[in-house]
Amino acid sequence: MITKRTGILRVLYATYYSLKGLRAAFLSEAAVRQEIFAILIMTPVAFFIDVTHVERILLVISLLIVLITELLNTSIEKLCDHVSTDIHLLIGRAKDIGSAAVFISLMMAGFTWISILW
């Protein structure tokens, strides 16, 4: 029988695996590296410009949503590649849909930044 971790130990292991996944995505995906770089540049900018607290939160959250979406898309792509490296209509469609989600999150972040800064 598998014993499940509980309490603080579960949180520590979950954090370890989350950081492991973030590292794996960072090392294997240029898009993740680019988005993390953008977050590292744009987040301080959000704190130096003259906006309200709520606007600042929206600016930073919009960047994080892009990263979250990219991580989910990357996991879909990795799983699809594991299932089959052959060209397959449904696998291609799944990858395209994941890419569309990233595109929409990028458009949302751009709209948020332009709307607040304009």
Q: Which of 29, 35, 70, 77 is catalytic?
A: 70
Contact 98, 77 (CB under 8 A): yes
Torsion of Cα atoms, 96 then 99 then 104 then 109, to 10°? -170
Q: Is 77 a catalytic residue?
A: no
Concatenating the DSSP letter of every residue in 35-48 gives: HHHHHHHHHHHHHH
Active site residues: 70
